Each structure stands twice: as structure tokens, then as C-alpha cells.
Amino acid sequence: MQKEYAELFSAFTQFRKLHMSDLFPNMNHSEFATLMHIGGANKCLNEEKVKVSTLSERMRINITAVSRTLKVLEKKNYIQRTVSAQDRRITYVELTPEGAEVLAEAEETMNTFTAKVLSSLKKEDVIRLTALMNQLYEASEAEIEKRKKKGDVTE
């Protein structure tokens, strides 16, 4: 079984080697992901603005890393940050019109790319692969939590 584990993780590593950011010449992966999460809050939750802390939680990365990325996006005029008038500790972020346009273009690029790549697979295989990836993610997440509770992440 050791060989199968090595092959599986080798396959995962190959995806990390892909330069997906080449599809977006004006932004890197973390900038794209951050814009996607801000845009997702706009679409799914009907929120014009999202708290930076909420963004950090949803992205599962620390607030310092999110703030660093937001600073870059702000310089590019893709987002706007505002401090809450009621509680100065809370900062909100929203897409600018330029940011919404860039995000829409990036989403379209990802959609056409994904459609082209997945067109080489049968629909049933895509569904099965998605289910297996979700199952693997859930099992991995549960195992990490179990080891954190035991205090032994190296088990």
C-alpha cells in the first residue's frame, strides 16, 4: 500500500507544479482566490461588503496573510477597504467596479479552462472523481483534527 500512497501524493504534487497563475497575467493565485471569496460573499450571501476576519475564516488562512493580499489588491484598485463606523476594530472589504470586471474575466477564463480540461473525461468519471476527492478531503480533515486533539500530529 505504501507504493499507492506515494503515487497518490505524487499526483497531488504534480498539480502544485502547474503554473495556473499563467492564466491570469495580472494576478497571482492568492489574489485570485481572495477576489473569488469576496465575489462569492457578494453573490451567495448578498453582502456588498465582507469583514476581513470573515474572509480569513472562509479562506482558512490567517488574517495577516489576507491583509497582505488585500493591500496588493487595493493598490491595483480591485478592492476597497472601509473601517466600521460603529466598531473601528472591524474592517470591511468590497470589490471595486474594476475588481468586479477583473474577477468576471478571471472566472470566465477558469470556466473555459476547466471545461476544456474536463472534456477529456467522461461525465461519470468527473462525478466519481469529485466524490472521491471530497471523501479524501473529509477523511484527511477528520484525521488532522483527531491528531490535534491527541497532541500528536506525527502519529
Quote the CA–CA distance of 81 and 91 in Å, as a whole number. 7
Three-state SS at 76: coil
pTM for this predicted structure: 0.76
Written as tens digits, the pLDDT of the chain (155 aa) is: 788 889 888 888 888 788 777 888 888 888 999 999 998 765 655 667 888 999 999 898 999 999 999 999 999 999 999 998 899 999 999 999 999 999 999 989 989 999 999 999 999 999 999 999 999 989 998 999 898 888 765 65
Residue 95 dihedral angles phi and psi, to the nearest 5°: -75, 140
Give the residue extent of every domain in the chain.
Answer: 19-120, 121-155
Residue 151 dihedral angles phi and psi, to the nearest 5°: 80, 15
The domain defined by 19-120 folds into Arc Repressor Mutant, subunit A (1.10.10)
